[in-house]
Structure 1
């Protein structure tokens, strides 16, 4: 039997009075806590989990005693032509108790409900982890958009200075009109880039606002020295083993298969005898008022008690082929569930390997982007010196400046991509927890 351990949802009671329009910076932990309160996707998953817990209760109910009571009261009149011969009040009360003794189909239905409840728990654990990924992705999309906009604004300012200097040199005869036109074209393109970055930032902010249910607060940036090591362990197949043992989507699929198997066995047991213990108590009373036109004592009447205890055995003989059809259908659904589980297992293996490789790639990418940024800065300094002494033209200078700002954007994005890659790797092996987000938050300014 597969045991499902729910991811712990962090306590958020202290956040009830927290306003999301504060002016101080919020880190990743704060945004995640707000998402737990306000994100409709997470709330829907939580409701689905609560609903799924009832499968076990409903399945167990079929094995427990059932008790019912009923009662009725009525007024009775007997007439012959126009003459009232008799009239009286009658009351009936009954209670019945039934306890299944042998109901193999209900036993398998109980096992089915138990597996479905465990599957709901596994699915909710996955949704908790998926919420962490969505929060982190949207958070770093905002930071990345801010960094890109900052680089775009710096690029506009730097190229604007080059354009102004080119115009001044042209006015005194030290530059050609081509140089002025080149700088103006570069400046116009930088303006377009800045507008694009502004739109991307607005879109990224809206994505976070949709999760937390309000205006976006200031977000804390990542520290400059955030570590980006390769995955540990470095052996990819070790991660695959962890994923096959702990991935919550795979657990949910396996439990759904267990439920489908129990459902098929329940359908296969529908033709077997069913044995129940039954008990029934009935009491009837009547109070007469008239008989033959004469008033009778209203306390006089009839009273009867009936008690019945029995062991009831029933067995379907022929139901038009419906029982056999339901059995075949249930086993076909079981076969389908097994194939879906196999597909999920292979998907987990592929995702773990892909995410592991991605972490390795992003770790190396951060190092390479950091070096590329340093090289772009050195290249710009050398180009500026060459331009001043006449060895480089303004086009070379503009290209070097654009290269520097592109390197800044690429380096910033590589760090965010690395963090998301690590979180996705942990998601694929089922180990992602709020503590992972808190550890990232501890590395923020």
Structure 2
């Protein structure tokens, strides 16, 4: 019963979709804007980017003074003498890294490269969300049109079935003709039920992606494209977020090699202590110079490990470039097929409609059988269904081209949304502000707002 209610609700929505468009009709841009604002996947990756921003702040903190305190109390009792004593001590210590061969600086720069890579990952996820929205939108539109087509098909075959019965009653056709029409009608009703189910599924996907149910969707036009295949490939190689992110990961891997090499050298630390014990204060300031002599081969192994990781990231860069170029080629191939199919099906529909009308007229004169009419009607229906699929494929293919080029984002599409600034949070934390500072309190307010 629940599925029937859902189908009824969707069918009611489809009747609105098929009605003349009004001012409140929803466009693809509206759906894309809502998906951008409601996507949990985007929220998740924005949070991961903020976590990566904090890695830079934590790495930078290693170059700053570390000040800590300690307090202790020790009670000493002697049962034999009856003398008890309580010793209190307090200490404040400060340590500052003066020199470590650049290892800390390399670590900070590597984290910055990883932040830039994570930003590109966020851009890639944005493309995935928007492309999925386009697919969900056109799938709902196609499902509505398929449903209308199946409903009309049932009406037409019902008329043919009744006509066959009437002609059988007067002896113009045999029972075989009636049975053929009845079988086609049963098949048409089955396909109608399948179309109703497909519309429910398309609506559920739309709700999952956009964050609400579809409402009075307008037909979606293909995205405008201003690049040919060669220019699109060249643009994608320079601008696709997957490639740019991989380039930053290669840079981070190279910096980690230099960081591992610097770890084999000496380090210099400045340290100071102020201690108070039983009212007596002591102060000390010193410089500590240290460095490894022998670490069992661990340091050399770490260098080789970072080199291997660098080589893996470089190989990944070549793989990603090939994949991006392939995606562009595939997207343009699918677009060409969809456009050619649309033109071919348009011609087929015109010819099949003329043929169907002619066969039906000839059948009324006894020159054609009921099977001829049903076959002609089926050819017209198939052509119309193929046209719906081709039009949907063309729309999706144009947006797939934009995604393959790295242009399927809110800014390029001009969506009516407040675009997320991936650098805003970084600017708040790149200097590693303390929790009690003015900037630290501002960060607390930002995080509370994000949580809400």
TM-score by length of 1: 0.82
1:329-378 CA distances to partner (integer Å, 9 max, x unpaired)? 22111111111111111111111111122222222322222222222212
Root-mean-square deviation over aligned CA pairs = 2.3
Distance of 1:417 and 1:303 partners within structure 2:
84
Q: Which residue in 2 is equivalent to 1:26?
A: 26
Structure 1 stretches of 5 or more lacking a match? 1-22, 287-301, 440-445
Q: Does 1:333 align with 2:270?
A: no
CA contact (8 A) 1:228 1:415 kept: no
Distance of 1:435 and 1:319 partners within structure 2:
52
Q: Which residue in 1 is equivalent to 2:48?
A: 48
CA contact (8 A) 2:222 2:398 kept: no
1:45-88 CA distances to partner (integer Å, 9 max, x unpaired)? 222222222232233233x2132221314254453x53234634
| Aligned residue pairs, count | 394
Q: Which residue in 1 is equivalent to 2:437?
A: none
1:87-102 alignment to 2 at 5 Å? 87-102=85-100
Q: Which residue in 1 is equivalent to 2:345?
A: 369
**Rg (Cα) greater in structure:** 1
1:239-296 CA distances to partner (integer Å, 9 max, x unpaired)? 11001001111111121121122222222222122223x131313131xxxxxxxxxx
- Secondary structure (helix, strand or coil) at the match of 1:83 reads coil
Q: Which residue in 2 is equivalent to 1:111?
A: 109
Q: Does 1:304 align with 2:281?
A: yes
Distance of 1:126 and 1:396 partners within structure 2:
53
Q: Does 1:431 align with 2:407?
A: yes
Q: Which residue in 1 is equivalent to 2:445?
A: none
1:9-158 alignment to 2 at 5 Å? 25-62=25-62, 64-77=63-76, 79=78, 81-85=79-83, 87-158=85-156
CA contact (8 A) 2:131 2:408 kept: no
C-alpha spacing 1:395/1:134, structure 2 compared with 1 (3 Å)? same
Q: 1:211 aligns with which of 202, 209, 212?
A: 209
TM-score by length of 2: 0.81
CA contact (8 A) 2:206 2:214 kept: no
Q: Which residue in 2 is equivalent to 1:170?
A: 168
1:131-280 alignment to 2 at 5 Å? 131-214=129-212, 216-222=213-219, 226=221, 231-234=225-228, 236-276=229-269, 278-280=270-272
Distance of 2:399 and 2:378 partners within structure 1:
32
C-alpha spacing 1:227/1:53, structure 2 compared with 1 (3 Å)? closer
Distance of 1:128 and 1:381 partners within structure 2:
49
Which has the larger share of helix?
A: 2
Q: Does 1:402 align with 2:399?
A: no
- Secondary structure (helix, strand or coil) at the match of 2:96 reads strand
1:350-361 alignment to 2 at 5 Å? 350-361=326-337
- Deviation at residue 414 of structure 1 after TM alignment: 1.4
CA contact (8 A) 1:112 1:263 kept: yes
